[in-house]
Amino acid sequence: MTVTIGRRELLAALGGAAAAWPLAARAQQPGNPPTIGVLGSDSAAWSHLVSALMQRLRELGWIENRTIAIEYRWTKGRNEHYAAMAAELVGLKADIIVALGTPAIVAARKVTAVIPIVFPIASDPVGDGLVASLARPGGNVTGLSNQRPELAGKRLEILRELIPGLSRLAVLANSLNPVAILNVGEVQAAAPKLGLVVNTCDVKGANDIAPAIEQLTGRTQALYVVGDSLVFDNQVQINTLALVARLPTMFPQREYVEAGGLISYGTSFPDLFRRAAEMVDKILRGAKPADIPVEQPTKYELVINLKTAKALGLEVPPTLLARADEVIE
């Protein structure tokens, strides 16, 4: 029996083979190491997390400038630069792109459907259309999701324990981020059960943050900050303004507390980045992103900044200190 293969099917098959073969082959050629492109907003904000990624890669045998090459592209907070920088990485023939944050993932996905894209953090990869499903991502994108709706209620319970008589709460969120708005809804749903009245404090860009927090002075007892790329890149500004306004802050991750925030409860970002490195390792060894399920958080941590608590005149209950994974003094 003779089987006829059309020109289009043949080209597709050859293209697929050409895309898959060089990555596994180059990974075994010391003189021609595979290139990993890292695309993000701000090198300073992400530096310790990228360090966690690189450390895990070293543990897995991938050494920068020896067995792998790294190309960094930072937009310096300018989202409009993502498209051009993602295109640069494609032009450099990067073998994998590690995209930091949803804007970076979206930009990378728009410029290539072939190069594997790994995201260490994404709030709602299915809802944002980044993957077909968590179990079967499909396409060239996979990574880790940090979405956990039940965390909102846990954070509110911690705030109630920390601040005696807490009844009024403001929630700061990027109103242009659908996932952030979803998280605000989770806070609003959990608040009445704890007797809390919630007011939203919307921002759309870095210039909105100062006036938004300044208007809260004397009108609320605490500030719950919904994390996303905009907030993460401006964490120092948020912490400084909140301290001036005498507002205790609740954050989703420890990084904000290390930058001067009061308290956080949420996913360990360094753990996510280490696990993302393991996905990069699998792809470098021949696995396809479409076959690597999107993973969810397994490690959570409570972090308290005692220095900030003292500046606010707050005494942290011993029971809360005993449960903390880390206390910054």
What's the pLDDT score for residue 3?
37
Domains of the chain (ranges plus CATH)?
30-147+270-291 (3.40.50.2300), 151-268+300-328 (3.40.50.2300)
- pLDDT given for residue 283 in this prediction: 97
Per the CB < 8 A criterion, the answer to whether 135 and 125 are in contact is no
Which position has the token pair 């076959």?
Answer: 291
What pLDDT score was predicted for residue 128? 82
Query: Which of 299, 305, 307, 310 is closest to 321 using CA atoms?
Result: 305
Which tens digits make up the pLDDT trace of 140-166?
999 999 877 689 999 999 999 999 899
Residue 307 burial (CB count, 10 A): 13
* pTM exceeds 0.85, yes or no: no
Tell me, what's the pLDDT at 133? 92
C-alpha to C-alpha distance for 309 and 214, rounded to whole angstroms: 20
Which residues in the chain land under pLDDT 70? Answer: 1-31, 149
User: Is residue 222 helix, strand or coil?
Assistant: coil
What is the model's pLDDT at position 164? 86
Position 185 scores a pLDDT of 94
User: What is the spatial distance between Cα 222 and Cα 167, in angstroms, rounded to a whole number?
Assistant: 9
